[in-house]
A and B are shown apart, each in its own frame.
Chain A
Amino acid sequence: MSQRSASLLPKTFRDWFKSRGWTPRAHQLDLVAKAREGRSVLLVAPTGAGKTLAGFLPSLVELAERGRGRAGGARGLHTLYISPLKALATDIARNLERPVAEMGLPIRIETRTGDTPSHKRARQIERPPDILLTTPEQLALLLAHREAEELFKGLRRVVLDELHSLVTSKRGDLLSLGLARLLAIAPQATAVGLSATVREPDDLRRYLVPQRSPENALADLVVVQGGARPDIRMLELGEPLPLAGHTASLSMPAIYELIKGHKTTLVFVNTRLQAEYTFQELWKLNDDGLAIALHHGSLDVAQRRRVEEAMAAGKLKAVVCTATLDLGIDWGDVDLVVNVGAPKGASRIMQRIGRSNHRMDEPSQAYLVPANRFEILECRAALDAVHEAAQDTPDARIGALDVLCQHILGMACAGPFRLEELYEEVRSAAPYAELSWEDYEACVAFVATGGYALRAYERFAKIVKGKDGLWRVRDARIAQQYRLNVGTIVESSMIKVRLGKSLRSRPGTVLPRGRILGEIEEYFAETLTPGDTFLFAGEVLRFEGISEDEVVVTRAGSGTDPMIPSYEGGKFPLSTFLAARVRDILADPFEWDRLPPQMTEWLLQQRRRSIVPGPRDLLVETFPRGNRFYMTCFPFEGRLAHQTLGMLLTRRLERAKLKPLGFVANDYGIAIYASGDIAGRAARDPNFMDDLFSQDMLGDDLEDWLAESALMKRTFRQCAVIAGLIERRFPGEKKTGRQVTISTDLVYDVLRKHEPGHVLLRAARADAATGLLDVRRLGMMLERIRGRIIHKPLDRVSPLSVSVMLEIGRESVYSDNADEILAEAEAALLDEALA
């Protein structure tokens, strides 16, 4: 045992490592040393590096030493561990118990999640354990407790697990504010962040320490270099891949063979639909009766747990799963990862690959399986990125204002606060370091009275400023309201799917009597009409209707094809980084040699019939087909930005009297169809295309569209719930009828008209910039292509355009224009009458 470990670890620990046949790893000792120096630290390490033990080791050592000093008695909470997943917290607690028991350490470890019974919660505050494992939401609740200061004042360490995944969302914003409060209550505490490899570790280092002065703005950094290079390749088939589609149906036999040849395989897919499809296809091939299971976020929790347990027990041959398994729960001996469909992001694919071979010194084995020709390009780009270990994790977030509103109310529930002091504390959280006093005041005003220019609600204020200058929550009812609405995950957008029973005595009548299969997005359910069939929970289901708050379905007869092509749950847009690489490969014919021959042939065809665009160019093709005129373009900016672009382009074409009829979008491009001759107009007006794609579409056109955009209204609803404007609807809670609930769509319309600068609208806009509307990326694209639009008028569809044209009928056609939909329905009535 090295001298270093002798000086850093007590004998009990050294003996324990020895008894297990282990040597403490350098980074594990580094963390003990950092803790002794009182430094906060970010540990970046690949999976299998013993990250979790490293995170806890300093605490265990300190607690072991403290235990000897002060035997028994009431000790305070020493270490707080935060994980993004409830299941992960429970898992880690179990793993920690082992060394603690084996070393006979006097350390009490407990978890606190939504499932913890109330008597235990109360006891945890009265007599806290040494180590408490919990989630960001539970931390927010604890901090809003009147006893928070007492509970946390002796805290020594905060461990934040899977930090790379936490910081990319509003949960990360909420956690950063919680951390700021913790470190204000317990300035002696240090923070440890555990993270997978990221592009900008400094972002995470800032997140861990109070941003009060530039000198001390970064936590220390400990990096474990990734062990063996992953053995990763693209699955190549003898036959050409289709031009579009995401099902990878041709590759299923090869995937099945791979599963057969390995011990345990994780098959990752991007969407729940793909998960459903892949699972079904693999079972069609499953003559060997291999134990292949399905796991995705929409399935019922009990079913997911069963799969997870079987997996951990080594009983499964393969699991088909979505992002729900991206995070670090230990899945036992996975020796192969197969990623079906496009990787979408370099860092994401590396984290997924990391799921195989939990020993970091052995190479992980992985296959990328492209489903169509564009995905070959994307897989190629991802393979290159993996080989260079290039990362494309997103930029650090700017703290959301709706989350801040929620936090302010929580802090008022904890106790009276002074406006200036809370401001300084909030700004010590990295995402809020740049928060202006004006925005902060607007948030406080929102929490108090809604913050409207028309000061109508002063007498109903939720928090009030006393004569002593301190702000207090008005009454216990408001505090209760806060507790019920805490968190940034707006669950109410999901609706349960229940299997119904058909009544034999009354054909056509279906009773909602069967079991719950899982849940789907409410907005998807809203587009279903009775009789529609779709894939879910591994089978084809028939939509029967909505009963109370559940979707009632029956099993469709065997051999039925699902009618509703897709729902987007869990679909990631292509990362900017990979998109740029795909454009580079496309633009450089020397690169084509590295692609499968079918791909090269396809690109040569494109060059012959149209052109292959340069890396910064935007190719726009126009061509007639049937009695319609088509326009396609290829920005490669991901489906969300493309949807927004499509909406705005159709508005502009409408105004140009070119009568657009609809559009479809995928990750690579969009196709718009119109009854007006777009190419003809462009021929007469040389500036037409430049004007059509000019950046000013992000001005008035965007404004007009936002007024009615369903996506924007969904974004606003989420902000309204998080900020506490309306109460969240709980899953399973009945829709209580028209008087009690309030539609946020109506609130949105009214607020937009009367107070367009209101803090909630600003929060929703900030979300729209990066979220469902991806406006920021669209803006960057429009900037990039300025003066670089290459318009190719063709007399028929080009090879490149075929791929996006094939989405027509496969993807839903977007439109937020209610009158269009209604006119169509009215016409249907007239047709009926005339028939």
Chain B
Amino acid sequence: MTALRKIQRTTQQIGLKGQAAVLDLTGALYLPDHDVLLVADLHFEKGSSFARRGMMLPPYDTRETLAALTDAVFRFDPRTVIALGDSFHDIGGPDRLGDEERTALGGVQTGRDWIWITGNHDRVLPENIGGQVAEEMMLGSLTLRHEPMAGEQAEIAGHLHPVGKVVMRGRATRRRCFLTDGNRCVMPALGAYAGGLNACDAAFRPLFSNGFTAHLIGSERIFAIARSMLCRD
């Protein structure tokens, strides 16, 4: 009972192409009809990718991202998890994965189906990271892919790392967000070091010709914010 209440407090339910979708505070999205949990843009090993180039970012991003992922997976306990691409920051990422993190990843994968959809950062994924690899897939009437594509087809995608910025009386906050118009949903990046693209950016315009609602991830809960309330950077 407590677990359920926790889920309710940290989630927000929306409708997507006639089916329920639960937006989670971690940035994951749960589809109860299919018992599928979606996550986007994990960017594992981004820290070590920068370190290769002489910028020694703290090497804890992967375990931090894994902690959020694990939290979502264990709370929803879905039959299937689908990662919507850019799960690793670069092709060498899976090789640099530390032993501890590799074990932790194996732990969340156990007992469920796991699908890696490829992204522009991880077009190729090795076999030793478990699960299956796909370029895109259909789930009922919904297309799941990394990069959203303008058009009528209902889809859930990632790639753009949307963030929404709100300014109220001189106070500003910038948070990761889900963008949706009921037909399409662009998910926030879940990676600890994944930056964000402002939802007002032109890149989102062709995807949501009739506007969208942004679901901003606050510290304690998710807030539905009108497009008109969002500001540019």
A residues in contact (CB < 8 Å) with B = 446, 449-452, 454, 456-457, 460, 462, 477-478, 481, 526-530, 545-546, 564, 708, 725-727, 737-739, 741-743, 746-747, 749-751, 753-755, 758, 812-815, 817-819, 821-826, 828-829, 832
Contact = CB atoms under 8 A, between A and B. Distances in A.
Interface residues of B, number: 48
B129 interface: no
A818 B51 contact: no
Given A456-B98, A727-B55, 14 more contacts: A452-B56, A452-B58, A527-B172, A726-B57, A741-B195, A743-B193, A743-B195, A746-B192, A755-B58, A819-B219, A822-B166, A822-B175, A823-B218, A829-B224
Interface stretch (B14-22, B26-34, B225-233): B225-233
Given A546-B233, A742-B50, A527 B57 contact: no
Interface in B196-233: 196-197, 216, 218-221, 223-226, 229, 231-233
A460 to B, nearest CB: 5
A526 B194 CA distance: 20
Contacts of B229: 825, 828-829
B70 to A, nearest CB: 15
Given A452-B58, A753-B60, A821 B193 contact: no
Given A818-B175, A822-B216, A450 B58 contact: yes
A824 B225 CA distance: 10
A814 B169 CA distance: 10
Given A454-B60, A813-B171, A822-B175, A742 B55 contact: yes
B77 interface: no
Contacts of B195: 738-739, 741-743, 746
Contact of B225 (A460, A530, A825): A825
Given A527-B172, A813-B169, A750 B55 contact: no
Contact of A738 (B55, B169, B171, B196): B196
B184 interface: no
Nearest to B220: A819
Contact of B58 (A738, A751, A824): A751
Contacts of B64: 750, 753-754
A819 B58 contact: no
B225 A457 contact: no
Nearest to A450: B56
A751 B60 contact: yes
B173 interface: yes
Contacts of A741: 195
Contacts of A529: 167, 231
Contacts of B58: 450, 452, 747, 750-751, 754-755, 758
A822 B223 CA distance: 7
Pairs A-B, 7 closest by C-beta atoms: A450-B56, A456-B59, A812-B170, A754-B60, A818-B173, A822-B223, A738-B195
Interface of B: 46-48, 50-52, 54-61, 63-64, 98, 121, 161, 165-173, 175, 192-197, 216, 218-221, 223-226, 229, 231-233
B171 A526 contact: no
Given A750-B60, A754-B64, A818-B175, A829 B193 contact: no
A829 B161 CA distance: 24
Contact of A446 (B56, B166, B197): B56
A725 B57 contact: yes
B200 to A, nearest CB: 9
A546 B232 contact: yes
28 contacts: A456-B51, A456-B98, A457-B59, A460-B51, A460-B56, A481-B54, A527-B171, A727-B55, A738-B161, A738-B196, A739-B195, A742-B50, A742-B57, A742-B195, A746-B192, A746-B194, A747-B57, A747-B193, A812-B169, A818-B219, A819-B218, A821-B166, A822-B173, A822-B218, A823-B218, A823-B223, A825-B168, A828-B229
Given A746-B192, A825-B223, A826-B223, A813 B170 contact: yes
A409 to B, nearest CB: 10
A828 B175 CA distance: 18
Nearest to B60: A754
Given A746-B192, A750-B60, A822 B225 contact: yes
Contacts of B220: 819
A462 B233 contact: no
Nearest to B224: A826
A526 B223 contact: no
Contacts of B221: 819
A150 B170 CA distance: 55
A127 to B, nearest CB: 34
A297 to B, nearest CB: 23
B171 A821 contact: yes
Nearest to A746: B193
Given A529-B167, A822-B218, A829-B224, A460 B52 contact: yes
Nearest to B200: A545
Contact of A460 (B54, B61, B197, B219): B54
Contact of A725 (B56, B167, B175, B216): B56
Contact of B51 (A457, A478, A739, A813): A457
A829 B164 CA distance: 15
Nearest to B159: A738
Contacts of A755: 58, 60
A737 B63 CA distance: 24
A742 B193 contact: yes
A818 B54 contact: no
Contact of A450 (B51, B121, B165, B193): B51
Given A738-B197, A753-B60, A829 B51 contact: no
Contact of A812 (B63, B171, B196): B171
A453 B51 CA distance: 15
A280 B34 CA distance: 66
A82 B168 CA distance: 46
Given A456-B48, A546-B233, A818 B218 contact: yes
A587 B192 CA distance: 53
Contacts of B55: 725-727, 742
Contacts of A822: 166, 173, 175, 216, 218, 223, 225
Nearest to B193: A746
Contacts of B54: 460, 462, 477-478, 481
B155 to A, nearest CB: 20
A564 B171 CA distance: 12
A742 B169 CA distance: 28
A477 B50 CA distance: 14
A832 B121 CA distance: 41
A821 B170 contact: no
Contact of B194 (A456, A726, A738, A749): A738
A456 B225 CA distance: 40
Contacts of B173: 818, 821-822
Contacts of B57: 450, 725-726, 742, 747
Nearest to B219: A819
Contacts of A446: 56
Contacts of B192: 746, 749-750
Contacts of A743: 193, 195-196
B232 A545 contact: yes
Nearest to B175: A818
Nearest to B89: A739
B197 A829 contact: no
B59 A454 contact: yes
Contacts of A812: 169-171
A549 to B, nearest CB: 10
A750 B165 CA distance: 22
Contacts of A746: 192-195
Contacts of A742: 46, 50, 55, 57, 193, 195
B51 A750 contact: no
B61, B171, B175, B223: residue with the most chain A Cβ atoms closer than 10 Å: B171
A832 B232 CA distance: 21
B168 A821 contact: yes
Contacts of A450: 51, 56-59
Contacts of B231: 529
